[in-house]
Structure 1
Amino acid sequence: MMIRITSYKLSGLAGAIALFLGATTSSAQSQEKSVHLKISLFVPPAHPLVPSAKEWAESLKKASGGSITATIFPAEQLGKAFDQYDMASNGIADVALVSPGYQPGRFPIINAAQLPFMVANAEGGSAAVDEWYRKYAPREMSDTHFCMAFVHDPGTLHSRKKIVLPGDVRGLKVRPAQQAIGELITTLGGTNIQASAPESRDALERGVADAITFPWNSIFLFGIDKVAKHTLDVPLYTTSYTWSLNKAAYDRASPQQKRAIDEHCTAQWAVKISHAWTVFEEEGRQKMRKASGHEITELTPDQLKQWQDAAAPLRTNWANSVRAKGFDPDEVLAELKQKLSDRKATY
């Protein structure tokens, strides 16, 4: 006997299967064990990274079917800026914004992205640094689960008195943004003053520091513009950051939840999470030019070359520190430069 199956019946069967699979997926998601992440940021609530972190968390919640939720803790609520990596490592935070440059000597490889005159812009730079560092993060940051890396828009030198040439730094007390800039200050005869971003204004107001390296608009966000009235108009450096996860928190997640996390730990998300900050800092240039009582110093080609020449020895120091960790600095740097070139972010 021949059995005929009409297209109508096939359509109904397909619909039933789809409903069954949808119900099964929904049921599986509803049975997922809930995961709640503590996200630690050392920047204040008004910083662009805070809403970006919330966007990341909301997207992760949706992708996990609601099983992964998060709470954002800005302004060093869970711990100091210098301690963010260890907080992610020991579980004080499940996710942390880490500034590797706050711990000199500990993370030499990623410091390549922080060398002066290395990264020209944050948009392409963030994608390039993330793609490049994924190869090295499992070894250099083995205590945590690497999610992504990004950089801020190029920062510069802001000071209480006018600085034009590298020799003007001699004798000054400078708060550096990260390790490479700290080495530059020492090379130029200055003294490094260690202070996190939230502590910087106080250091300048009390005369503990004479100058600071900082992005353009963050000067206003942290109130540093009230003290530092002179700015050098040059893209001197960028600071690299990582979005680092606690290993145990990641390992506790189900395969489906890990997939959702992995989909939110990409170069695309590195650009996305830092985009608002990039725009914010870019706007600071125009804001600084219009600000009353501020002087911006533009460099001639010869003056710029003097700064570049002064920074050149830092690459040798960096190479030695990377070699001491068992890596080939020429290979590491060549890979970074290629990624930056691919993303049109080479200085």
Structure 2
Amino acid sequence: MSIKSLLAGSVLAAAGVAVVALSGVVPVAGSAQAQDDPVEIRFSHWVPPTHPLQAAITEWGESINKASDGTISVTIFPAQQLGAAKDTYDMVRDGIADMGYINPGYTPGRFPIFDAANLPFNVTNATDGSAAIDEWYSRYADKEMGDIYVCLANAHDPGAFHSKEQIAVPGDVDGMKVRPANGTISKLVTMLGGQPVQVSAPESREALERGVADAITFPWGSILLFGIDKTTKYHLDMPLYVVGFVWGMNQDFYDSLSDAQKKVIDDHCNPEWAKQTSVGWAAYESGGRDKIKAMPDHTVTEPTPDQVAAWREAVAPMLDEWKKTVNDAGHDADAIWADLGDTLKKYNSQY
């Protein structure tokens, strides 16, 4: 089943919980053995069940179910049903959820190495970029996420500024209250003279409607999904950033699986699956840009080359700050940054 067909309506949005399970599957070579005990993965995420992520997790879960001869099923709990978005890492670590969709940026400073993936003007696209981020971070995850099983990492399509008043150059952010995508973008907002407003994605529309925030950094399609187009009318059309995410599994849960079941999980936690889980979401987000451009009451600004240069100059100090933070944590920031750049080049996704 493809992500496209799932988006067409197979997600159990009305129920709020999607159960991924197949029956009558023909065993395949190298899959889990028939005598393995059946297990259920309770997968927590924080976006609505209509979001493309739900379809991606569903496809991933169906593939695991098939490869495990039906011994592994996935039950999806969307929309923060098991806990708040910012708590997902701890929920996975503590076993409240067997798996979770973790946004490391929701806990600024906690995962400094991973923050490299979120630096502005770094990644060009969500598909090849996700494969690159996953391969790169697999070499460092144990250094800062060692108490969970890191399955894969991926990213959404590049996000941009969306605001109540026009933003075209870095100086326009001065004095604005901005809901940033993560801790890294929060630092950017502060650097430009703005005031970060820390709320999760599901809480963002209310913050804008109440005047708690004047602008938001968000991918395009999600602006429509969360209804933020009702409050923001100006959009800056440039790939400011991507947000990286981690699919994490409770370590005790992983350790309890049979060897055959572990292999099934391992085979679904790699750069190929990182890319696959991003395809539908990337198409959804980029499609949102076209829809917003067609709205007569919205203004989409495309920066000039000089304006792009001004933005690059404005964010340049962020790399130095990131390197200091990572070095202070006892890691080799120059080597890690060079490794990320080389891996992005390998996957043709470096900005």
Q: Same fold (TM over 0.5)?
A: yes
Equivalent in the alignment of 2:206:
202
Structure 2 stretches lacking a partner, 5+ long: 1-25
Equivalent in the alignment of 1:99:
103
Instruction: Count matched residues.
Output: 325
Distance 1:131 1:74 in 2: 27
- Following superposition, the deviation at residue 211 of structure 1 comes to 0.3
Distance 1:123 1:257 in 2: 27
Encode CA deviations 1:111-130: one digit per residue, 9 max, x unaligned: 10100000011111001100
Q: What secondary structure sits across from 2:150 in the alignment? A: strand
Give 1:175's match in structure 2, choosing from 179, 183, 205: 179
- Following superposition, the deviation at residue 292 of structure 1 comes to 2.8
Structure 1 stretches lacking a partner, 5+ long: 1-21
Equivalent in the alignment of 2:63:
59
Residue identity over aligned pairs, in percent, reads 51
- Give the aligned residue type for 1:39: F
- Following superposition, the deviation at residue 51 of structure 1 comes to 1.1
Equivalent in the alignment of 1:253:
257
Distance 1:122 1:148 in 2: 14
Distance 1:162 1:70 in 2: 44
Equivalences for 1:219-230 in 2 at 5 Å? 219-230=223-234
- Give the aligned residue type for 2:257: A
Distance 1:253 1:193 in 2: 41
Encode CA deviations 1:226-269: one digit per residue, 9 max, x unaligned: 00000011100000000000001100000000000000101100
Give 1:281's match in structure 2, choosing from 278, 285, 296: 285
Q: Does 1:84 align with 2:88?
A: yes
Relative to the length of structure 2, the TM-score reads 0.90
- Following superposition, the deviation at residue 31 of structure 1 comes to 1.6
Equivalent in the alignment of 2:348:
344
Equivalent in the alignment of 2:131:
127
Give 2:116's match in structure 1, choosing from 109, 112, 119: 112
Distance 2:131 2:208 in 1: 34
Distance 1:163 1:272 in 2: 33
Encode CA deviations 1:67-109: one digit per residue, 9 max, x unaligned: 1111000111111110111111000111100000111000011
- Following superposition, the deviation at residue 157 of structure 1 comes to 0.3
Distance 2:198 2:327 in 1: 26
Encode CA deviations 1:103-161: one digit per residue, 9 max, x unaligned: 10000111101000000111110011001000000111012101000111100000011
Q: What RMSD, in angstroms, separates the aligned Cα atoms of the two structures?
A: 1.5
Distance 1:260 1:291 in 2: 45
Distance 1:68 1:343 in 2: 31
Equivalences for 1:136-147 in 2 at 5 Å? 136-147=140-151
Equivalent in the alignment of 1:3:
none
- Following superposition, the deviation at residue 282 of structure 1 comes to 1.1
- Following superposition, the deviation at residue 167 of structure 1 comes to 0.8
Higher-Rg member (1/2): 1
Relative to the length of structure 1, the TM-score reads 0.91
Judge conservation of contact 2:160–2:238 (CA < 8 Å) in 1: yes
